[in-house]
Amino acid sequence: MENYKLVLPEHLNHYGYLFGGNLLKWTDEVSYIAVTLDYPGCNFVTVAMDKVVFRKSIRKGTILCFETRKTREGKTSVEYKVNVYKDSISTGKREMVFTTDITFVCLDEEGNKKELCGK
């Protein structure tokens, strides 16, 4: 699944670069959308995001592309790989800026782990 985000002035720190927390938030949001669409009827929470390394700086006006794909499915949890690229509007060149694996666990109404829907 692909999603896009435009980096606006309110996403920047006082040096004019994207706050890393915004990138983490967007990564969590797009992968949550993917897992929710993949497992309708399940309730998920994020339990892990591994290796947070920001590879390139991101400025105002950057278009970010989030590529999300499922990499592992367990009994109660599922993992996705999220690759984030910045697309140059002047050259069309795509450059990876961030990648991580994010894990979700399926919960019942009381907040206890439960088997993934459809299993």
Task: Kindly list the structural domains of the chain, giving each domain's residue range(s) and its CATH number in brackets, ordered by start.
Answer: 2-107 (3.10.129.10)
pLDDT of the residue at 42: 95
Average pLDDT over residues 20-35: 97
3-state DSSP assignment of residue 41: coil
Residue-wise pLDDT tens digits, 59-104: 999 999 999 999 999 999 999 999 999 987 788 889 999 999 999 9
Average pLDDT over residues 36-58: 94
Q: Is the separation of the CB atoms in 38 and 16 below 8 Å?
A: no
Q: What predicted TM-score, i.e. pTM, was given to this entire model?
A: 0.92
